Amino acid sequence: MADPMIAARVDAAVAAWLEWLPRWTPGSFRSRARICRRCYQSPILASAGLSHDVPHQVQHALVVRLQKIIDKTVDEFTTASLPGLRLELDAADALKQKAGYRPNDGLDPEYDGLELDPEPEPGQPFLFTLEGLASPLDKQINDPRPPLTDDQKAELRSEMALADECAVVTGQRVCGAVKIHAPRIRLAVETFVEPQIQSMLDELTNSLEFPS
């Protein structure tokens, strides 16, 4: 199920991550009280060979870059093939614009989704929910359009299922494409991340052995 367009996008995302990685320092790593919804048990991380013993921000920066490929592909599919869902999403976006600036919009991949994530949901939720579309974001912004009829709701539900299916298939293709890069990714972690962690551990050991 290889897809040349997905493979090219994954190549570019991995290249951007490899370019960013040398700038990572342990000081830029913030610990989290909560599990990260994007990284926890992510099949992307497993495919990239980054699921164990790697600082969260290093993982997160890759996951977000690759997740954006899935989002973009689903968005393109929606525009091309799912007119009802496209209308709903555009309307939700317009309401969001009215609601003004959001601090979690437009962040760099290394910070995107950190701290602001809701708790992970059990099971495999739909990408979009009817409730989310019907009452987007700020309650004080009213949707001026008439409510959907039952037929429109049913049509929208089936379009959402297709969008969800597209996300699953694209996710599998992204995982397949990133596997090819796993050795380079591992080597980059060994080169730029592990020595910094080792020197932190050495400092800690020294300070324990020779208390001032």
Q: Where on the chain is the footprint of Zn ion (CB under 5 A)? A: 36, 38-39, 60
**Please, which residue, 104 or 207, has the CB nearer to Zn ion?**
104
Listed in sequence order, the residues at least 6 apart from 107 whose beta carbon sits closer than 8 Å to its beta carbon are 113
Listed in sequence order, the residues at least 6 apart from 11 whose beta carbon sits closer than 8 Å to its beta carbon are 177, 181
Task: Provide, rounded to whole angstroms, the least separation between the CB of residue 110 and Zn ion.
Answer: 10
- Written as six digits, the tokens of 48 are 């990239």
Task: Provide, rounded to whole angstroms, the least separation between the CB of residue 144 and Zn ion.
Answer: 37
**Please, which residue, 163 or 193, has the CB nearer to Zn ion?**
193
Sheet strands (E) in 37-168: none
Task: Provide, rounded to whole angstroms, the least separation between the CB of residue 75 and Zn ion.
Answer: 21
**Please, which residue, 116 or 168, has the CB nearer to Zn ion?**
116
Note whether 91 and 199 are within 8 A (CB). Answer: no
Note whether 111 and 36 are within 8 A (CB). Answer: no
**Please, which residue, 45 or 133, has the CB nearer to Zn ion?**
45
- Written as six digits, the tokens of 25 are 């320092």
Task: Provide, rounded to whole angstroms, the least separation between the CB of residue 166 and Zn ion.
Answer: 23
**H or E element in which residue 202 lies:** helix 194-209
**Please, which residue, 6 or 39, has the CB nearer to Zn ion?**
39
Sheet strands (E) in 75-137: none
**H or E element in which residue 160 lies:** helix 150-179
Task: Provide, rounded to whole angstroms, the least separation between the CB of residue 113 and Zn ion.
Answer: 6
